[in-house]
């Protein structure tokens, strides 16, 4: 969608950054990602290093800051290698806690592919962070089609700067992502890059019929199709196969039930990713021992057997069938 100016950090030769970026694209493709040529082109052309001029890595005694303007050429080289490694990057800390990150590129590619955008679609992105994902969307759909929301004014201001440096100008709004962005609605797609306790009620309300919502929830990725009923919008869909771990959506309702107590459960279950997914999805409404019986009886179901329904102010998670017999209420969004 049009030409965009690509810049580089003053301390990073363009050829070095280009070579690192192309190597990352090849790595993601070798893993089976970026099968859509349009997304492969976007990842090949959008310079990730402009969106993470610095980031933090865990070191002895805490976090270490790496940045592209470091006077030490060895540390600058280490920074660039990290930028184009297929890993999430911690981009903002507050009181020692991670509040914003740049997601793992291969997971971003998977999510963008699952979003199933079409020419002319408008997209609302929740959790703009560094602005890199918004740039990929703008590259594919054009600046006018993309709206990003983040709660922190410092984050959105920084994202706008990164986007402008890379030559992209989607709309970036400071606000509570759980409330969406009514003034830019309706949307054809909503994508979140932060973990939710439930689906905010405002999101289906701001969608066109036939829209898709893709969001991390309970260590998975839920893909919802939005339809119109006599009572208003209804959203329903299943989880994707892949696990997903993101920074929580700030401003959303807290996770119900807290962390379940797993004492007394067999170690094979308590430490199993899919069992913990079931417990997190049930949100404290399912006793861990009952959950274990269900999980084993149903032969350790994969994530894609679970789904979520949002309808008339209620929402619930389910296994196999939204009408039961296995359903769990989620908090109202």
- Of the candidates 106, 107, 171, 109, the residue with the CA atom closest to the CA atom of residue 138: 171
Query: In 69-91, which positions are buried (b, 16+ CB within 10 angstroms) versus exposed (e)?
Result: ebeeeeebeebbebbbeeebbbb
Residue 10 lies in a domain: no
- Of the candidates 180, 225, 230, 245, the residue with the CA atom closest to the CA atom of residue 322: 225
Q: Which domain holds residue 317?
A: 267-329
Percent of the chain predicted with pLDDT > 90 = 73
- Using a 10 angstrom Cβ sphere, with 0-12 exposed, 13-18 middle and 19 or more buried, the burial of residue 208 is middle
Long-range pairs, 29-34, Cβ under 8 A, ≥24: 31/106, 33/106, 33/109, 33/110, 33/113, 34/109, 34/113
Residue 169 lies in a domain: no
Which carries the bigger pLDDT value, residue 78 or residue 313? 78
What does the pLDDT look like over 177-210, one tens digit per residue?
A: 999 999 999 999 999 999 998 999 999 999 999 9
What span, in angstroms and rounded, lies between the C-alpha atoms of 51 and 222? 27
Residue 87 lies in a domain: no
Residue 191 lies in a domain: no
Residue 230 lies in a domain: no
Single pTM value for the model: 0.91
Q: What is the rounded radius of gyration, in angstroms, for the C-alpha atoms of the chain?
A: 20
Residue 310 lies in a domain: yes
CB atoms within 10 A of CB 230: 4
What does the pLDDT look like over 117-159, one tens digit per residue?
A: 999 999 999 999 999 999 999 999 999 999 999 999 999 999 9
Catalytic site residues? 100
Q: How confident is the model at residue 315 (pLDDT cuts 50, 70, 90)?
A: very high
Residue 302 lies in a domain: yes
What secondary structure does DSSP assign to 177-236, as a single string? GGG--GGG--EEEEEESSBBSS--THHHHTEEEEEEEEEEETTEEEEEEEEEETTEEEEE
Number of folded domains that form the chain? 1
Mean pLDDT, the chain, whole residue set? 90
Retrieve residue 279's tokens.
Answer: 């417990």
Residue 148 lies in a domain: no
Which pLDDT does position 246 carry in this prediction?
86
Task: Judge whether residue 36 has pLDDT over 80.
Answer: yes
């Amino acid at each position: 969608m049009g030409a965009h100016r690509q810049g580089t950090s003053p301390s990073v030769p363009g050829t070095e950054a280009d070579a690192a970026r192309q190597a990352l694209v090849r790595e993601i493709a070798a893993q089976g990602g970026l099968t859509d040529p349009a997304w492969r082109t976007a990842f090949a052309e959008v310079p990730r290093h402009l969106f993470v001029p610095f980031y933090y890595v865990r070191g002895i005694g805490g976090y270490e800051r790496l940045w592209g303007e470091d006077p030490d050429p060895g540390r600058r080289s280490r920074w660039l290698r990290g930028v184009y490694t297929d890993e999430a990057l911690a981009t903002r800390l507050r009181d020692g806690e991670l509040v914003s990150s740049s997601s793992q590129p291969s997971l971003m590619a998977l999510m963008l592919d699952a979003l199933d955008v079409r020419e002319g679609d408008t997209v609302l992105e929740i959790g703009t962070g560094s602005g890199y994902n918004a740039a990929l969307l703008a590259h594919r759909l054009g600046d006018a089609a993309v709206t990003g929301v983040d709660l922190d004014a410092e984050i959105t201001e920084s994202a706008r700067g990164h986007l402008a440096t890379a030559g992209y100008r989607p709309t970036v709004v400071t606000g509570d992502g759980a409330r969406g962005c009514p003034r830019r609605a309706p949307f054809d797609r909503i994508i979140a890059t932060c973990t939710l306790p439930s689906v905010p009620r405002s999101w289906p309300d701001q969608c066109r019929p036939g829209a898709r919502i893709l969001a991390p929830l309970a260590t998975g990725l839920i893909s919802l199709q939005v339809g119109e009923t006599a009572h208003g919008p209804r959203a329903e869909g299943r989880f994707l196969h892949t696990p997903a771990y993101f920074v929580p959506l700030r401003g959303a309702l807290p996770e119900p039930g807290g962390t379940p107590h797993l004492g007394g459960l067999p170690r094979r279950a308590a430490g199993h990713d899919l069992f913990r997914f079931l417990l997190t999805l049930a949100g404290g409404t399912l006793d861990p021992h009952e959950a274990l019986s269900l999980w084993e009886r149903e032969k350790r179901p994969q994530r894609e057997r679970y789904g979520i329904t949002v309808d008339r102010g209620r929402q619930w998670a389910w296994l196999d069938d939204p009408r039961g017999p296995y359903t769990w209420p989620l908090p109202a969004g």
